[in-house]
Amino acid sequence: MNFITSSSTLLKHLQSISGVLSTNSTLPILDNFLFSIVGNELTVCASDLETTMLTKLQVHSEQDGKIAIPAKLILEVLKSMPDQPCTIKVNSTNFAIEIVYDNGKSKMPGFNGDEFPKLPKIDYSSSISLTGELLARAINKTIFATGVDDMRPVMSGVFCSFSPDDISFVATDAHKLVRYRRSDVTTNSTAEFILPKKPLNLLKTNLRGDEQVELKFNESNAHFSFGDIVLVCRLIDGKYPNYEAVIPKENPNVLTIDRLQFLGSLKRVAIFSNKTTHQVKLKIAGAELSMFAEDIDFSNEASERLTCNYDGEDIEIGFNSRFLAEMLASIDTEVVKLAMSDPSRAGLLMPANGENEKEDILMLVMPVIINR
């Protein structure tokens, strides 16, 4: 089994799936890429058993076959090589690999491709087609709000809900929540599942805006195909919490403010906040927003004032500055709205003037109780 390909093309394809590789794999064979050739098409596969990625490229080959090649080694070789044709020769008896290029060659041991776990044949009951831009945007808007608590695995992923009216992506860690909804994409039937964080990050890295993504799924797996990449992942098993129940319905106190001004002030004031709670107090009266943070242990404090539009009763409320800053950073619009009811209930952050009326972004942040 020998084949010829461009070193930079091969490197690009290997890098696109290398994020699947796990540093603490229980199966040594999973430290390799599986190379499979049929005709002149090379399929490269990487897997950690939970998530599997495949990429396809055209090569020049005269013989079909498969071989497992050490991933770290081949990536390092290709990274250090200028763009040029290279020949990969495989000894079918002992699986030794030789990479031959313009001014040299390198040898490494390979492994029997039959030892690599096979992708099971899965029947997918439902499918939906999305643009790469929409899916990447949905992931970017929600993934930062996922939890990291091993005791609650369902909250470590993004909840996807598809219906004939809209599609929603939701993430929460019990302190903050983001719901990203689109009414310009719908499905014939209703479906709900939870996607893990790792495949979502891999999708985010590889998605390009103009391409179509075909998403197929059933009760236990999801299958994404776009361009020359296929990603298959196991879904998180469990029931997602009823997030709609925690979104307060009546929020008469509404602050409207320039997003970048608000974010800039918040970051500066937060430098002086308590390193455990990261608490920043917001005091809103009339057309003025005052921000205050202190760390009593180190005698640090800071305050800033901003002009704003405010409709409601005077209010003093505390938030975790890191959560609020993350949310403000992930909104695109110039102006944002913060809707509140009272200092003990969650605040709702949203764009004030969305560019796309088919897009609905809602962010919820729990308050930090202010010590008087």
Kindly report the backbone phi and psi dihedral angles of residue 348, in degrees, each rounded to the nearest multiple of 5, phi listed first.
-110, 125
The mean pLDDT of 225-247, rounded to a whole number, is: 95
Q: Is the pTM above the cut of 0.75?
A: yes
Neighbours of 236 (CB within 10 A): 18
For residue 355, the model assigns a pLDDT of: 67
pLDDT at 327: 96
The answer to whether residue 63 scores a pLDDT higher than 70 is: yes
Which pLDDT does position 325 carry in this prediction?
A: 96
Q: What is the pLDDT of residue 353?
A: 81
Mean pLDDT of the chain: 94
Per the CB < 8 A criterion, the answer to whether 340 and 283 are in contact is no
Integer Cα distance of 268 and 265 in angstroms? 5
- Gap between the Cα atoms of 369 and 89, Å rounded: 66
Pick from 163, 189, 66, 152: which is nearest to 117 by CA? 66
Least trusted range by pLDDT, from 121-130, 270-279, 287-296: 121-130
- Binned at pLDDT 50, 70 and 90, residue 371 comes out as low
**Mapping DSSP to helix (H, G, I), strand (E, B) and coil, where does residue 312 land?**
coil
pLDDT band at 149 (very low <50, low <70, confident <90, very high): confident
Task: State the DSSP H helix or E strand holding residue 135, giving kind and residue range, or none if neither.
Answer: helix 132-142
Give just the sign of the alpha carbon dihedral 284, 285, 286, 291. negative
Q: 45-71 b/e with 16+ CB inside 10 Å = b?
A: bbbbeebbbbbebebebeeeebbbbbb
Structure tokens at 305: 């004032």
Reply yes or no on whether the pLDDT at 120 is more than 90. Answer: no
Domains delineated in the chain: 2-115 (3.10.150.10), 126-242 (3.10.150.10), 247-365 (3.10.150.10)
